Amino acid sequence: MAALIRGLRAGRALRGLGGVAVQGTVSLQCSNVRRGFHRAALLRLASDSKSDTSVPPPSYHEVHTAGESSSSSAQGESSEDAQPNTSFQDQSGEHGEDYETEEQLQARILTAALEFVPQHGWTVEAIAAAAETLGLSSASTGMFNNGAGDLVLHFVAQCNAQLAETLAEQNNQVQLGQAEAKKTAEFLKDAVETRLRMLIPYIDTWPQAMSILLLPHNIPDSLKHLSTMVDDIWYYAGDRSTDVNWYTRRAALTGIYNTTELVMVQDSSPDFEETWAFLDNRIKDVVNMANTAKQVQATGEAVVQGLMGAAITLKNLTGMNQRR
Partner 1 sequence: MQRAAKCALRLDLSRAFCLEVNVNVCMLKSLPPPRDEEEKAMLDSMLRVDHAGEYGANRIYAGQMAVLGRTRTGPLIQYMWDQEKMHLEKFNEILGEHRVRPTLLLPLWNIAGFALGMILTRIEGTMSCTVAVEESISEHYNSQIQTLMEAEPERYTELLQVMLLKNFVMMKKKNRDTGLEHDAESVPGYLLLKTVIQVDCKAAIYILQRI
Q: Residue 228 Cβ, how far from partner 1 at the closest point, in Å?
A: 10
164 binds partner 1 (CB under 8 A): no
Contact with partner 1 (CB under 8 A) among 50, 217, 240, 324: 240
132 versus 221: smaller Cβ distance to partner 1: 221
Q: Residue 236 Cβ, how far from partner 1 at the closest point, in Å?
A: 11
Beta carbons within 8 Å of 103's beta carbon, 6+ residues apart: 20
Q: What is the CA radius of gyration of the chain?
A: 30
Q: Residue 136 Cβ, how far from partner 1 at the closest point, in Å?
A: 30
Contact with partner 1 (CB under 8 A) among 77, 231, 261, 274: 231
Contact with partner 1 (CB under 8 A) among 102, 125, 208, 246: 246
**DSSP string for 140-170:** GGGG-TTTHHHHHHHHHHHHHHHHHHHHHHH
Select from 99, 118, 103 the least CA-distant residue to 20. Answer: 103
Question: Are 66 and 136 contacting, i.e. CB atoms less than 8 angstroms apart?
Answer: yes
157 binds partner 1 (CB under 8 A): no
CA angle 157, 145, 23 (to 5 degrees): 65
Select from 169, 221, 213 the least CA-distant residue to 190. Answer: 169
Contact with partner 1 (CB under 8 A) among 71, 89, 175, 241: 241
51 versus 242: smaller Cβ distance to partner 1: 242
Alpha-carbon span 285 to 116, nearest angstrom: 39
Q: Residue 232 Cβ, how far from partner 1 at the closest point, in Å?
A: 9
13 versus 168: smaller Cβ distance to partner 1: 168
Residue numbers of the site for partner 1 (CB under 8 A)?
231, 235, 240-244, 246-247
